[in-house]
Amino acid sequence: MEISARNMLKGKVSQITPGAVNTEVEIELPGGMQIVSIITVKSAKGLGLEVGKDVYAVIKASNVMIAVD
């Protein structure tokens, strides 16, 4: 995976809260800090997100996106 964003934080999905349109994804970073992202239900399913999966929080401007290998 290559991406132009400079701020990528690797962590593990610690909680997934799906809604009607969006899904809240909590990521636990090394050291125990948490970061939360809101993505579409379709994106969460397409990425195959599940608790314990390794992911990257990709930060560009005011957005936090989720990426997987």
Phi, psi of 48, rounded to the nearest 5 degrees: 65, 35
> In whole angstroms, how far apart are CA 18 and each of 38, 39, 44, 50, 64?
10, 9, 9, 11, 17
pLDDT tens-place string over residues 41-51: 999 999 999 99
pLDDT tens-place string over residues 20-62: 999 999 999 999 999 999 999 999 999 999 999 999 999 877 6
Reduce the DSSP state of residue 11 to 3 states and report it.
strand
* Mean pLDDT on 3-32: 94
**Whole-model pTM?**
0.82
**In 1-69, which ranges are continuous DSSP H helix?**
41-46
Query: Quick one: DSSP state of residue 3?
Result: -
